[in-house]
Structure 1
Amino acid sequence: MQNQALNPSSPVISSVAAVAPRAQASVRNLPVNLFASVMGFSGLALAWRLAHEGLGAPAIVGEAIGAFALGVFVLIAAGYLTKLVRHPQAVHAEFHHPVAGNFFGTIAISILLLSAVIAPYSAPLAHLAWTIGLLATFALSFAGLSRLLKGQVDASLAVPAWIIPGVATLDIPVTGAHMPMAWAAEANLAASAIGVVLALVLFTMIIGRLVHRDPLAPAMEPSLMILVAPFAVGFLAYTNIVGEIDRFASLLFYFGLFMFAVVAPKVFRRGASFAPSWWAIGFPMAALANAALKYAESHPSEPLWAIAIVLLAALNVALAVLTVKTVRIALNGKLFA
């Protein structure tokens, strides 16, 4: 029997095609998942800050990448706002799509991460950005879960992108553990509660779909890296809340590392064609690199520092390659086609 996930008429492929119909190059085809690039660059900037503290890496590297992440966000946000104004029906269809709609969480996560990037330069602006990101994250998580609970959702659509809203709520305490507002501590706890339960439930559903149903279509295979995020981000959120790296934090870190070892060979394979969906690998890798650097600093040993350095180096290479390829398709018009 023909593999349904590889068949253009399958529910996943046909429904995605409905969101992005074939047409001439137009801003209406700008994918919301491109905001994942901002997540990757912001995570890389924060990782270099940790490398500066733990390894003595040049501070300018992380700050320069952070400025670049902010510039990329402004550029993509301007493009997507143009899409919203000119083609609101396309944005509406994308938001209500059972797969693509989850990527609106990348906007909220980008804002949360950028609040941490700009915090050393402007505390008030960082507080404002974090608050906006928090409200957007809660709203998107509520909308996402409400949509699933309507029922009659095709089980084949339970793909790794579903877990983005849960990861988004976990990013609230990752970036807001030191927010001075009186209500921030309770908001961080609420976000952690929502994120942990959502991530675990959806992770179980996604693993069940991957085990019992047809494999993901090749174009969706990079999203497998998202399965690393709940544990790497969970590690960062948990350690920020409790203020230490205890045994439970160690369990989260090591399982995140294990998941990366499992999915990496499935993602980084020869012959894989590039698409904007590849940016899905950036933030999970960045979260794991940040977790590894933080863990190695708390439990210093040569193997742990080696793991952290290798992950940071791999993240740099991956984002550099994705940047070059994205600029190339932007210049030849394929990004908007």
Structure 2
Amino acid sequence: MQVPSMTPAFPAVPAAGGASIRNLPVNLFGAVMGLSGLALAWRLAHHSLGAPALVGEAIGAFAFGVFALVSLGYVAKLAKHPGAVHAEFHHPVAGNFFGTIVISLLLLSAVAAPYSEAAGRAIWTAGVLATFALSYVVVSRLLRGQVDASHAVPAWLIPGVATLDIAVTGAHMPMAWAPELNLLAVAVGGVLALVLFALIVNRLVHQSPLAPLMTPSLMILVAPFAVGFLAYANIVGSVDRFSGLLFYFALFMFAVIAPKVFRPSVTFSSAWWAISFPMAALVNAALKYAEFRDSLALDILAVVLLGALTVVLAVLAVRTVRIALNGKLFT
């Protein structure tokens, strides 16, 4: 079944003609999110299922390398084309993808923590400050009013999910102020995620489908519940029935959305990285829930999801390198 070809219901970010660093999309930081999440999933699988430790650590190192490379590219874009960055940040849809930068910092802090507690703490603190600042800006924009309902797309959830990730990655931070800050993060992220999820579903139900290139972003609808499971479990210090409800709804949403996203008719672009972190959050939640329930069926489910995520991100990485080398990434 073909995905209908439609014109986006919102203005595009102005692009330069031909290949240019000006066109480097901020959503490419989604690759760092996905790879970091995959590294943490393999690390969790090592502790709970005896998976090889080297796999997760190697992916974590690769995530740091990708972050450095994409950051250099985006800093070059900022230096040469500040107007393009300004337009992207203030765009009603693309601006939400700046949340991929702050989530990347939070996740990388968890990747780094076993090697250097000081580095992990510093990266996490920087991520926390940037996350709350971005959430404040995004909510302030929405409360100005007169927001076009067609702009309510899954990307809106990214700043809210970013706030939840503070608690996902900061549960074991030793600072005296960390527990209260984690509680604040879950309060802000949890309510934002629920309100924005309702607005987005209302738009998807009552208005035209997303443009084909935005189809992969549907997977973001899984994130509030998978990330919410991880954040809540960290806040309360255990997995309980409420966290189980969050996990199973995330799994249900994944089952509903996956057939809509994984279609050969959806053209590949950097926007495909939007699927990576929601899937990684679901895999981490599945591994943690399976460990709590001590169930063979849940272990098998977690392993299948981990394998699928690993294959998907490998394919995305290869295809991204290909469009970077042929210049399509910058057009």
TM-score class normalised by the smaller sequence: over 0.9
Q: Does 1:182 align with 2:176?
A: yes
* Aligned: 1:54 with 2:61: no
Name 1:250's counterpart in structure 2: 244
2:68 and 2:15 map into 1 onto residues whose CA distance is 26
Structure 2 residue aligned with 1:284: 278
How far apart in 1 are the matches of 2:60 and 2:214?
28
* CA offset digits 1:36-62 (Å, max 9, x no partner): 000000000000011101111110100
Cα displacement string for residues 273-294 of structure 1 (whole angstroms, at most 9, x for unaligned residues): 1010000000000000000000
After TM superposition, the structure 1 = structure 2 runs for residues 95-114 of structure 1, keeping only pairs within 5 Å, are: 95-114=89-108
% identity of equivalent residues: 71
8 A Cα contact 1:227 1:259, kept in partner:
yes
**Counterpart code for 2:22:** R
Cα 1:166–1:47, aligned 2, differ >3 Å: closer, same or farther? same
Q: Which amino acid aligns with 2:306?
A: L
Matched to 1:159, the amino acid is: V
Residue pair 2:225, 2:247 contacting (<8 A) in 1 also: yes
Question: Using the alignment, how far apart are the partners of 1:308 and 1:286 within structure 2?
Answer: 11
SS in 1 for 2:264: coil
- The Cα offsets for residues 176-224 of structure 1, whole Å up to 9 and x where unpaired, read as 0010111111110110000000000000000000000011111101000
User: 1-side partners of 2:36 and 2:6: how far apart?
Assistant: 36
Instruction: After TM superposition, give the deviation of residue 144 of structure 1 in Å.
Output: 0.4
Asked whether the 8 Å contact 1:176–1:184 carries over to 2, the reply is yes
Alpha-carbon separation, structure 1, partners of 2:120 and 2:314:
27
The CA deviation string for residues 144-185 of structure 1, in whole angstroms up to 9 with x for no partner, is: 011111111110110000000110000000000010111111
Q: What does the per-residue CA deviation read over 1:220-270, in whole Å, with 9 as the maximum and x for residues that have no partner?
A: 010000000000000000000101111100000000000000000000013
Task: Give the conservation status (yes or no) of the 8 Å contact 1:112–1:130.
Answer: yes
The aligned residue for residue 139 of structure 2 is: 145
Q: 1:22: how far off?
A: 4.5
Corresponding residue of 2:309: 315
In the aligned structure 1, how far is the partner of 2:330 from the partner of 2:107? 26
Query: Is contact 1:6–1:216 with CA below 8 Å preserved after alignment?
Result: no
Segments of 5+ residues of structure 1 without an aligned counterpart are none
Alignment of 1:214-253 (within 5 A): 214-253=208-247
1:30 paired with 2:8, answer no
Aligned partner of residue 11 in structure 1, secondary structure: coil
Q: Which residue of 1 aligns with 2:58?
A: 64
Q: Matches of 1:301 and 1:188 in 2, distance apart?
A: 30
Residue among 70, 89, 94 paired with 2:88 = 94
Letter in 2 for 1:240: N
Q: Is the 8 A contact 2:15 2:22 kept in 1?
A: no
Contact 1:33-1:103 at 8 Å conserved across structures: yes
CA–CA separation in structure 2 for the residues paired with 1:89 and 1:30? 13
Aligned length: 328
Residue type at the aligned position of 2:150: S
TM-score w.r.t. structure 1 length? 0.96
Paired residue type of 2:58:
A
**What stretches of structure 1 move > 6 A for 4+ residues in a row?**
none
- The correspondence for 1:116, drawn from 102, 110, 115, is 110
What residue in structure 2 maps to residue 81 of structure 1? 75
Whole-angstrom CA distance in 1 between matches of 2:270 and 2:147: 26
Matched, 1:39 2:33: yes
The 8 Å contact of residues 286 and 298 in structure 2, kept in 1 or not, is answered as yes
Aligned to 1:11: 9
Partner of 1:204: 198
Aligned-residue Cα RMSD (Å) equals 0.9
Q: Provide TM-score, normalisation by structure 2.
A: 0.98
Tell me, in whole angstroms, the C-alpha distance in 2 between the residues paired with 1:197 and 1:94: 26
What is the distance in 2 between the residues matched to 1:272 and 1:167? 25
